Amino acid sequence: MTSDGCEEMQLLVQADVDGELQPAEAARVGAHLMHCAECAQVQTRLLALSTRLRQDAPRYAAPAALRARFVPKRPSCRVPALAFGAGFAIAACLALVMVLPRGGALPDAVVFAHIRALQPGHLMDVVSTDQHTVKPWFDGKLPFAPPVKDFQAEGFPLVGGRVDYLAGRTAAALVYRSRQHVIDLFAWPGVDSRLPSSGARAGYNFQRWSQDGMSFWAVSDLNAGELGDFVRDFRKP
Ligand SMILES: [Zn+2]
């Protein structure tokens, strides 16, 4: 069993791996990891993933001077527009988009959340193969109602669900199985079609799509073809 303290701690571990913690918080994480093997294991996996991402991820080079000037001010491209004139500003904003693709962070966060969930005791808050049990379980826990379907006959039985938190948003996570593989299906309201529709991170495949005003991300170590079969089944009206 995992205590609530460890759930919070594992979010902090992820933030720590991302270098986002203040020193005092990082120290608290370090102290916990000294005596908690489970959280230490999460850290080990996240560090391994982070290292692989740094090695494997495609990179788009921008001139160093441009980067130094704009990366700290990423949220606003209006500032350079005023300072340097529209033509240069457009070029600078395009370069920024290439240096820091918005599509990069969210797939990482989704795969992180999947890996975190694979730790013992984290995968499911409601354990049921019955969609009529899982769907009402989300009532009151989320400000939206995720569609819950079962694909037992297609080889992807629903096994449960949980509420997850990733990249600053609350998500419904539906858990399916395919043989010995786990599929996490994350769902939240809103659509962002600029993000990649499929890809892989550290051995996990993901597919993203939008449906009925919601964003869906399926993540699994299942091969891309079979994950595609699952997504096709789910998208069928
Ligand atoms: Zn712990």
Q: Where are the domains of the chain?
A: 4-56, 64-99, 106-235
Report the pLDDT value the prediction gives residue 16, as an integer from 0 to 100.
Answer: 84
Give the distance (Å) from ligand 1 centre to CA of residue 34: 9
Query: Per 3-state DSSP, what percentage of the chain is helix, strand, and coil (rounded to 5)?
Result: 50, 20, 30
* Residues within 5 A (CB) of ion ligand 1: 6, 9, 36, 39
Find the DSSP H helices in 100-175.
102-117, 131-137
Give the distance (Å) from ligand 1 centre to CA of residue 120: 11
Those residues of the chain that have pLDDT short of 70 are 1-4, 53-104
Report the pLDDT value the prediction gives residue 8, as an integer from 0 to 100.
Answer: 84
Report the pLDDT value the prediction gives residue 217, as an integer from 0 to 100.
Answer: 97
Burial 114-147, CB ≥16 within 10 A → b, else e: bbbbebeebbbebebeebeebbebbeeebeeebe
3-class secondary-structure state, position 142? strand
Give the distance (Å) from ligand 1 centre to CA of residue 133: 30
Q: Class of the 106-235 domain?
A: alpha beta
Whole-angstrom Cα distance, residue 16 to residue 5? 16
Report the pLDDT value the prediction gives residue 209, as an integer from 0 to 100.
Answer: 96
